[in-house]
Amino acid sequence: MNSGMYSALSGNIAAMKRMDIISNNLANINTPGFKKDRMTFEGLLASTTAPPAVPPSKTADPVLQKENVYIDYSAGPVSQTGNTLDVAIDGDGFFTVSTPNGTAYTRQGNFRLTADGTLVTTDGFPVMGQGGEIHIKGGKVDINAKGEITVDGAAAGVINLVDFPKPYNLTKTASAQFVPSDPQATPQASQAELRQGHLEGANVDPVGEMVQMIETNRYFDACQRVILSYDGMASKAANDLGRL
């Protein structure tokens, strides 16, 4: 295959992957605490990862696209909701939740109560306090900046807020949940403060994502035209050579 076609084809594949990421970001624009994904590209010679199929003197190594997907952990916009069980993190850190697959971490703070008074996420996973699960029974619920919960004036637990060394090395397991990529990683206490009655939204800029979607579509079309051009030249060469 022509090296130019290799390069254009790798561009098509990268554009499709980027479109999937943009689509997922837009689909979660209303998911509290969601952190958008980003993709960067770099060019590389095929010979750096695998030997060329023919001697280098006979043809140029095809230039391929190598993509790098990473999570953007920048804070999302914080809005006031007035809901006593909505909690936003002001600073760096994560809530700790218990899932069937183990402990996970999130900034999604739109909590709710189960029938027995357990504080859980919207997915139904218990929100962990410094002494285990948090149970709330009573009327007036207050959560201060340190995460201390009082119900009708009586202490009911402290929300466990943690953080990890930067740059974060986390893996996204759900739309707004993360686990350390290194199972041995130990979280540390976060110095951030909590804001009751507020909620952090997704850090997705819809206008910016739409602009990137248009750019990606145009890039895909350009690569497609290059492939068709090389295919046309190859067909013409084969037909013309056949008549000689």
Q: Where are the domains of the chain?
A: 3-73+204-243, 78-200
In this prediction, residue 208 has a pLDDT band, given cuts at 50, 70 and 90, of very high
Contacts 24+ apart (CB under 8 A), 40-47: 40/67, 40/68, 40/70, 41/14, 41/65, 41/66, 41/67, 41/68, 42/66, 42/68, 46/6
Q: What pLDDT was estimated at residue 219?
A: 85
When pLDDT is averaged across residues 204-210 and rounded to a whole number, the result is 95
pLDDT of 61-114, one tens digit each? 555 556 688 999 999 999 999 999 999 999 999 999 999 999 999 999 999 999
When pLDDT is averaged across residues 27-50 and rounded to a whole number, the result is 76
Q: What pLDDT was estimated at residue 21?
A: 93
Q: What pLDDT was estimated at residue 58?
A: 47
pLDDT at residue 52 above 50? Answer: no
Report the distance separating Cα 159 and Cα 129, nearest Å.
4
When pLDDT is averaged across residues 124-150 and rounded to a whole number, the result is 93
Mean pLDDT of the chain: 85
Residues 6+ apart with CB under 8 A from 236: none
Q: What pLDDT was estimated at residue 54?
A: 44
Q: Which residues pair with 97 in a beta bridge?
A: 104, 127
CB 76 within 8 A of CB 202: yes
